[in-house]
Amino acid sequence: PARHFDTRTTEPISFFLSGLEELLAWQPNSNDDFNVSAVPLAKRQPPLRSKRPRTLVCHDMRGGYLEDRFIQGSATRNPYVFYHWRYIDIFVYFSHHTVTIPPVCWTNAAHRNGVPVLGTFITEWTDGEKLCEAFLAGGEEAYHAVSEQLARIAQHYRFDGWLVNIENTLSAAAVGNLPPFLRHLTAQVHSAVPGGLVIWYDSVLQNGTLRWQNELNEENRVFFDTCDGLFTNYNWKEEHLERTRVLAGPRHTDVYVGVDVFARGDVIGGGFDTDKSLRLIRQHGLSAAIFAPGWVYEHLGEENFLHNENKFWGLLAEYLPTHSICTLPLATSFSLGMGTSRFLAGKEEEAGPWYDLSAQEIQPLYPEREGRLSTSCCLQDAWCGGSSLRVQGTIPPGEERMAIRLFSLQMPVPPKLYLTLLYKLEGPHPDEFTVALELTTWDSGTCHEGNVTSLPEPNGRHHPRFLPAPPPGLAKLLATCNPGSHGWTSRCYELDLQDCSLRDLSLLVSRHQPSPQEMPFTCLLGEVRVLDAASVAASPPQVQSLTASQLWWQ
């Protein structure tokens, strides 16, 4: 069927639903298998329900379902990717089709990084009025059918809920049923999808008029009260934020103040001035909804996209509370889910562009310090996948080392950890540096290394012991302890900790001799792993009852 497979190549594709009939007729189908997300939502700290201001990203690019619709990837040169997952809370895939089901590659990438994904239910223009009249103006049976279908769709494809956007006027009968519809939809999504969300876009008023308010007020509060949050329109001023904060009361973090990165209309700041909008939003303790950050790609062009993307998110970083990983194992090769080649064990296996967000690995923090440090993606060389992480920095005069924070962590430490690292030093004097990993722990009176007699580390910094060879029985899994290949250096470490809680994982670059000169370095990271020794030693579960279906030989 053309909905599920590309008519030209027969490749499986992601799809949307148009109109009420298609929504109500939808049911699970054996051709759906490719569209079901295979990655459960990873846990992270703090959880979404915590009361700190959140950041929502709403992805709206050229109508959606571009190269990202190819579920098994495509040979796209310079594709759009998003990878600043540590800095955001919710990802919305937006298009102007009635029912936007997020392409599964986005759900997989977001979930791997702990971010829930929402689809969009939108009605607009005169067709939207007719559609709303059809399901809202009648009895509850009609709107219950719609909310049940939307909840079933999210549950079936394993994404996390809906942004609801009614951008057309409503009759008195229809607007009267809108709050009960939203309440029912929210209840259905909560029961069908663990941690599910329904967010309302600031559009229609309680009297059915379409008039954007740019704030939470008495005209649209009735909709906010029935669901998990309000996404405001973009043309606000500071007084809108003040009134919103007062009216929202304890639910102020459920108001996502819209920021249009394209800066259409009368806005505080978009583009590389988006930080001006965010600064004000955060001063009032509100959440933010960053709309169309694909501006970086669409407006500034594909060629220098990765550089511009890091600049854009780097400017916002101080207003984006980051998230911590709270489960082990943590293993990543930093691949963005795209590349100009594919690498395996440091060797280029296949040249040529590729794009597949489902293959994106866990992404780190991207720390930037003006003139002193930058972290970016390197497509020219990788250990595994399409890219490595390039860390460029300068060790200041008189200092011996620099710690670069890769991941924030928040979890109790198992008694023994194994860590592995693959790296490559570039530049004129690679022999003058040593590279290692550093773990920090949260301060606590009880935390210490190894046996009880060893003293607590000052300021909770731990430098794992280097293992020249893998421990017996783990040679295969910890093959990384052996010398690297293709110019990559491989390192394996162990660390015994008691009664500790992990805080940060950093890369430590040191120089052999302190010097009055500053020293620039460039290090490519190919892979980092933090493993719980106990679960590494346990044998993996056996796969059972494996079936294969839909085999076509061509």
Helix, strand and coil in the chain, % to nearest 5: 25, 30, 45
Q: What stretch(es) of the chain map to CATH 3.20.20.80? A: 16-321
CB atoms within 10 A of CB 234: 23
Pairwise CA distance, residues 297 & 309, whole Å: 8
- Which H/E stretch holds residue 166? strand 161-167
Residue 459 binned pLDDT confidence (cut-offs 50, 70, 90): low
pLDDT at 541: 82
Model confidence at 481, in pLDDT bands (50, 70, 90)?
Answer: low
Quick check: 453 pLDDT over 60?
Answer: no
| Distances from the Cα of 96 to the Cα of 67, 124, 219, 472, angstroms | 17, 8, 25, 57
pLDDT at residue 478 in the model: 67
- Give the tens place of pLDDT for each residue, 288-347: 999 999 999 999 999 899 999 999 999 999 999 999 999 999 999 999 999 999 999 999
The fourth-level CATH superfamily of domain 330-536 is Galactose-binding domain-like (2.60.120.260)
pLDDT band at 483 (very low <50, low <70, confident <90, very high): low
pLDDT band (50, 70, 90) for residue 451: low
Q: In which band, very low, low, confident or very high, does the pLDDT at 480 lie, cut at 50, 70 and 90?
A: low
CATH homologous superfamily, domain 16-321: Glycosidases (3.20.20.80)
Task: For the full predicted model, state whether its pTM sits above 0.85.
Answer: yes
Share of the chain above pLDDT 90, in %: 81
* Cβ-contact 187, 198 below 8 angstroms: no
Contacts of 196 (CB under 8 A, 6+ apart): 151, 154, 160, 161, 189, 190
Average pLDDT score over residue span 154-165: 98
Closest by CA to 494, choosing from 433, 440, 437, 443, is: 437
Q: What is the pLDDT, as a whole number, of residue 299? A: 96
Whole-number percent of the chain with pLDDT over 70: 96
pLDDT of amino acid 454: 52
Rounded to whole angstroms, the Cα distance separating 405 from 409 reads 11
Which pLDDT tens digit goes with each residue over 363-407?
Answer: 999 998 887 999 999 999 999 999 999 999 999 998 999 999 999
Q: What is the pLDDT at residue 479?
A: 66
How far apart CA 391 and CA 239 sit, in angstroms, is: 42
What confidence tens digit (pLDDT) does each residue in 416-432 have? Answer: 999 999 999 998 888 88
Q: What is the DSSP letter of 87?
A: G
Mean pLDDT, to the nearest integer, of 203-214? Answer: 97
Q: What is the pLDDT of residue 448?
A: 78
Q: Which pLDDT score is estimated for 458?
A: 55
Looking at residue 482, its pLDDT comes to 64
User: In this predicted structure, what is the pLDDT of residue 359?
Assistant: 97
Would the pLDDT of 132 be above 60? Answer: yes
Domain boundaries for CATH 2.60.120.260 within the chain: 330-536
**From CA 529, how far away is CA 441, in angstroms rounded?**
17
Closest CA to 275 of 255, 295, 261, 256: 261
Beta pairing, strands 338-344 & 433-441: unpaired
pLDDT of amino acid 456: 52
pLDDT in tens, 52-63: 999 999 999 999
Report the length, in residues, of the chain. 554
For residues 192-214, average pLDDT: 97
In the DSSP assignment, the letter for residue 373 is E
